[in-house]
Amino acid sequence: MFWRVITFFSFQATGALGGWLLDMAFHGIHAALWGGWLGAVLWLMLDTSHAATLLRCLRFDMPPGQTLPSGIWGDVFDRTLRLLRSKDNAICDCQKRLQDFLSALQASPNGVILLDSQNRIEWCNQTAAAHFGLDARRDMAQTIGNLVRDPGFATYLASRNFEEELILPGRGHSPHLPIRLSVQLYPYGGGRFLLLSRDVTALEQAEAMRRDFVANVSHEIRTPLTVLTGFVETLQTLTLSQKEQEHYLELMAQQSVRMQTLVDDLLTLSHLEGSPVPDSETWGSIPILMHQVEQDAQALMQSVFGHDRPHHLSFDCQCHGVVAGIFQELHSAMINLVSNAIRYTPPGGRIGVMMRPLPDGRAVFEVTDNGPGIAQEHLPRLTERFYRVDRSRSRETGGTGLGLAIVKHVVQRHGATLTIESTPGQGSKFCITFEASRLRLNEYPSEKFV
Ligand code: ADP
C-alpha cells in the first residue's frame, strides 16, 4: 500500500515538475496543475493495465509466458492463486474420498441403492442393477416402485415399516430356476433410504434341503419304530407259542438292523461332510483294497441270499500300484456300488467288478450288472439323499437310500468322478474314475492304508 501511495504521488509530482519547468515562462502554476493531472492519469492507466493482467491470469489460469506485475497487484494475484489452489486441493480430496467410498459400495457383494425421500434412485451399484434389472445410468432419478414391479415390494414400500426384510423373486426367477432376493430398506439423513438387496437363493435351498432331510430321516426311522412297537405290544399282550415268539423276535431284529444301518449311513455322511479333504500324501495298495471289497461282497451275498449264491460275481484287478486317499472311505464307496449290484440284480445275474488303468494314466473302478437297469430320467437324481427308483426293493434288501450319496461324497473328496450308465431291462454300469495325479500304478506300497 505504501508503494502504491508513493508511486501515485511521485507520478503526480513528476508531472507537476515537468509542467512547471516547461511552462514557467507562459502560465506558471496552472501548467504544474495540468502536469500533475496528467501524471495521475498515466499512473491510473498503468495501474489498470496491472489489474487487467491479473484478471487475465485468473480467467485463463495463468497463460504460459505471462509475467506477473510487481507490487500490490502481484501480491493480490499471488494470494488469490494460493487460495484458489488450496480450495481446488480440498475439492479434489473430497472427490477422491467420495470415489473411494462409491468404489467400496460398488465392490459390495450385496446390492446397494440410495433413494431420495421420494423413493427416486440417486445411485446404485452393479450388484443391485443385476438384482433388479436396472441400468445404473438410465434409471437414475426414476422411482424405484416403477422399476421393481413386484406387488409384495409395492406393499412393503407403502407400509413404511422396514423393520423386517422382504423376500422377493429375483430377476429371471422361474419354477425350474428359482432366484430369491432378500430386500430391506434403512432410513437415513434427510428422509432418504438405503435399499440393500442380497441373493438368498442358496440359503433358501439349503434351508429347504435341511427341512426335507429332517422329514426324510424322521420318516425312515418312524417306519421300523412303528413295526417294533407293534411287535412289542403283541409280545406283551398275546400268549404266543415258542415258535411264534421266535418269529416275531426275528422280525424285530430285522427292523433294529434297519435302523442301525440308517444311523450308520447318516453318521458316515455327516463325517464325510465335516472332515477335511483327504491329502494326496497317504498312499495305499489297490490290490489290497480290491481284495477287501471282494471279501466283503462275498459275505454280503451270503447274508442277503444265504448259501444259494445266486449271482455270478467276478473280480478283476488290473492295477497293481497305489492310490492316494483314505482306505475306509474308498472301501465304503466301492462296496456300496457292489452291494447295490448284488441287491438289485435278480438271482442268476452276472456282476463284474474291475479296476483297470486307462491309456492317459487314469484308472477306473467299474461295477457292471445285468439287473433291471434304471430309466434315464432317474440318473441325475440317483445321488440325492433318500432318492430311490425302486422304493420297495430298496427297503426289502435293507437299503437306506443314502448309499449313492455316500459314494458321491467320497468320490468328490478324492478328486475322482462318478459316472452312471444304465439301460432299463439290460443292466447298469457304475464307474469311479481316479485322476492320474492320485495314482502311482507301477509302485508297490510298503505299508497299508492308514
Ligand atoms: P439304496 O440304499 O436304496 O440302495 P442308493 O443310494 O444306494 O440307495 O441307490 C439309490 C437308488 O438307485 C436305489 O434305491 C435303486 O433304486 C437305484 N439303484 C442303485 N444301484 C442300482 C443298480 N445296480 N441297479 C438298479 N438300480 C439301482
Distance 414 CA to ligand 1 centre (A): 22
Pocket test for ligand 1, best of 258, 345, 379, 404 (most atoms within 8 A of CB): 404
pLDDT of residue 81: 80
Does an H or E element contain 58, and which?
A: helix 29-59
Q: Is residue 252 domain-shared with residue 313, that is, in the same domain?
A: no
Distance 264 CA to ligand 1 centre (A): 17
Q: Is the CB of 341 under 6 A from ligand 1?
A: yes
Among residues 362, 382, 384, the alpha carbon closest in space to that of 429 is found at: 382
In the block, residue with C-alpha cell 442277503: 304
Q: Is the CB of 371 under 6 A from ligand 1?
A: yes
Residue closest by Cα to atom 16 of ligand 1: 389
Q: Is residue 195 part of a domain?
A: yes
pLDDT of residue 450: 47
Q: Is residue 84 domain-shared with residue 27, that is, in the same domain?
A: yes
- CA–chain centroid gap for 131, Å, is 14
- CA–chain centroid gap for 259, Å, is 37
Q: Is the CB of 369 under 6 A from ligand 1?
A: yes
Q: Is residue 222 domain-shared with residue 253, that is, in the same domain?
A: yes
End residue of a domain, out of 241, 275, 309: 275
State how far the Cα of 383 lies from the Cα of 385, in Å rounded to an integer. 6
Among residues 416, 259, 263, 400, the alpha carbon closest in space to that of 334 is found at: 416
Q: Is the CB of 388 under 6 A from ligand 1?
A: yes
Q: Is residue 167 part of a domain?
A: yes
Helix (H, G, I), strand (E, B) or coil at 373: coil
Q: How far is CA 408 from CA 118, 212, 325, 330, 441, in A?
A: 53, 19, 15, 11, 24
Q: Is residue 211 part of a domain?
A: yes
State how far the Cα of 21 lies from the Cα of 94, in Å rounded to an integer. 64
- Nearest ligand 1 atom to the CA of 399 is 2
pLDDT of residue 448: 52
Q: Is residue 103 part of a domain?
A: no
Q: Is residue 130 domain-shared with residue 155, that is, in the same domain?
A: yes
Q: Is residue 269 domain-shared with residue 325, that is, in the same domain?
A: no
Q: Is residue 185 part of a domain?
A: yes
Distance 265 CA to ligand 1 centre (A): 14
Q: What is the CATH number of the domain that holds 143?
A: 3.30.450.20
Q: Is the CB of 390 under 6 A from ligand 1?
A: yes
Q: What is the CATH number of the domain that holds 282?
A: 3.30.565.10
- Beta bridge partners, 427, equal 423
Q: Is residue 376 domain-shared with residue 283, that is, in the same domain?
A: yes
Distance 353 CA to ligand 1 centre (A): 17
Distance 334 CA to ligand 1 centre (A): 14
Q: Is the CB of 372 under 6 A from ligand 1?
A: yes
CB atoms within 10 A of CB 279: 9
Task: State how beta strands 322-324 and 283-285 pair.
Answer: antiparallel
State how far the Cα of 273 lies from the Cα of 270, in Å rounded to an integer. 5
Q: Is the CB of 374 under 6 A from ligand 1?
A: yes
Distance 389 CA to ligand 1 centre (A): 7
The set of cell numbers assigned to 41 is 492519469
CB atoms within 10 A of CB 197: 25
DSSP E strand boundaries for 189-236: 192-199
- Nearest ligand 1 atom to the CA of 401 is 8
The set of cell numbers assigned to 397 is 434288501
Distance 311 CA to ligand 1 centre (A): 17
Q: Is residue 258 domain-shared with residue 316, that is, in the same domain?
A: no
446 lies in which domain range?
Answer: 276-450
Residue closest by Cα to atom 8 of ligand 1: 401
* Contact present, 184 and 146 (Cβ < 8 Å): no
End residue of a domain, out of 176, 199, 222: 199
Q: Is residue 371 part of a domain?
A: yes
State how far the Cα of 381 lies from the Cα of 161, in Å rounded to an integer. 43
Q: Is residue 415 part of a domain?
A: yes
State how far the Cα of 77 lies from the Cα of 53, in Å rounded to an integer. 10
Q: Is residue 12 domain-shared with residue 22, that is, in the same domain?
A: yes
Q: Is the pTM of this model over 0.85?
A: no
Q: Is residue 54 domain-shared with residue 180, that is, in the same domain?
A: no
Residue closest by Cα to atom 4 of ligand 1: 399
Within 13 Å of residue 42, how many CA atoms lie on the same side as its CB? 15
pLDDT of residue 112: 96
Q: What is the CATH number of the domain that holds 260?
A: 1.10.287.130
Query: What is the dihedral sign for C-alpha 413, 419, 422, 428?
Result: negative
State how far the Cα of 30 lies from the Cα of 47, in Å rounded to an integer. 26
- Nearest ligand 1 atom to the CA of 402 is 6
Q: Is residue 371 domain-shared with residue 410, that is, in the same domain?
A: yes
Helix (H, G, I), strand (E, B) or coil at 127: helix
* Contact present, 122 and 140 (Cβ < 8 Å): yes
Q: Is residue 85 domain-shared with residue 129, that is, in the same domain?
A: no
Helices 403-413 and 327-344: crossing angle in degrees, nearest 10, is: 150
State how far the Cα of 371 lies from the Cα of 3, in Å rounded to an integer. 114
Give 196's contacts (C-beta < 8 A, 6+ positions apart): 110, 111, 112, 183, 184, 185, 186
End residue of a domain, out of 151, 181, 199: 199
Based on the structure, what is the number of domains in the chain? Answer: 4
Residue-by-residue pLDDT tens, the chain, 450 positions: 677 778 778 877 887 777 777 676 556 567 777 777 888 888 889 888 888 887 877 777 766 666 766 777 778 878 888 898 899 999 999 999 999 999 999 999 999 999 999 999 999 999 999 999 999 889 999 999 999 989 999 999 999 899 999 999 988 888 888 899 999 999 998 899 999 999 999 999 999 989 999 999 999 899 889 999 999 999 899 888 999 999 999 999 989 999 999 999 999 999 998 888 888 888 889 999 999 999 999 998 888 777 666 789 999 999 989 999 999 999 999 999 999 999 999 988 999 999 999 999 999 999 999 999 999 999 999 999 999 998 887 777 778 999 999 999 999 999 999 999 999 999 999 999 999 999 998 776 655 554
Residue closest by Cα to atom 17 of ligand 1: 389
Q: Is residue 344 part of a domain?
A: yes
Q: What share of the chain is helix, strand, coil (3-state, %, to 5)?
A: 55, 15, 30
Q: Is residue 294 domain-shared with residue 436, that is, in the same domain?
A: yes
